[in-house]
Amino acid sequence: MRYKNILVTGGSGMVGKSLKNIMPNADYYSSSHLNLLNEKDVELHMTRKKYDVVIHLAAKVGGIIDNINKPVDYFEENLIMNTNIIRWSHLTGVKRFIGILSTCIYPDKVDTYPMTEEMLHQGPPTPTNFSYGYAKRCLAVQIDAYNKQYGTNYQYLIPCNLYGENDKFGENSHFIAALVKKIVKMQEDGTNTLELFGTGKPLRQFMHSDDLAWVIKECLDKNIYESFNVATEENLSIREMAEIAISSCGLKNVKINFDSTKPDGQYRKDVSIDKLKGLLPKFKTLPLSEGIKKVYDKIS
């Protein structure tokens, strides 16, 4: 890798930890060390350090219920963080900026699936995380605008839902982490019923955080500047993923009970990875069953 001075925001998070395993010499900063909501802090840090590369992982994230209850927080905090870090990356001469988005930036519904990168602005994001989705979509607009106005080589990657053994396992867990945590608790309580939100029908692509980290590093190593989707080709229902998790964790005779009074979220949001495969033909993802077993072994 020809870049030596690299900043990773959100460095203590799940993707940051995956990235640190393969890029140990970068600077990994969490919000306790660099407050991206404070522009003065960002200015002072970026001016002092003079980075070549910024990998922007930091974001305010949470589950469906928290997104529904706190739309202002999710919109404003992400917008402010994104604006501060990209502005001062540009003003301090950062050569490469990679912003990590989410497939929730895509329209709630489209005519054809999987969604390609060109379909981003064909409609609004899903209502259940509308503010977060739009704030992250705005980062794509910002990056494209900087490239157009200033001739920068900045890019964004749009990963599908992520999981990993370094995920949060608290109130704002991602689905796979929350699912495995529920399975562990079910075992501890000696029950055989797994309680889940919604109907179990929505479809999702879930990818291990190590796979995204590999793509980020490859973009730097191979001088890839284009923006594109990063996902697995598996597009499974919530029920199917729950069944895979039960099997991967070595359980049998488990009943899955779905609470249909709780929201499902977006029905489907699968994305095409044709562009990714063209740029990185060696890309492959860890099978979900193997990844879930890694998560289970970490917390059980």
Which tens digits make up the pLDDT trace of 9-39? 999 999 999 999 999 999 999 999 999 999 9
Q: What's the predicted TM-score (pTM) here?
A: 0.95
pLDDT (tens digit per residue) in 107-118: 999 999 999 999
pLDDT tens for residues 79-91?
999 999 999 999 9
Long-range pairs of 141-150 with CB within 8 A, sequence gap ≥ 24: 142/82, 142/83, 142/86, 143/86, 143/97, 143/99, 143/227, 144/227, 146/86, 146/90, 146/97, 150/90
229/119 Cα distance (integer angstroms): 12
Residue 84: the pLDDT is 98
pLDDT at 261 (0 to 100):
92
Catalytic residues: 132
Residue 162's DSSP bridge partners are: 207
Q: How far apart are CA 179 and CA 299, in angstroms?
A: 12
Q: Give me the pLDDT at residue 171, please.
A: 59
Distance, in Å, from the CA atom of 194 to the CA atom of 268, rounded to the nearest integer, reads 23
Ranges under pLDDT 70 in the chain: 1, 170-173
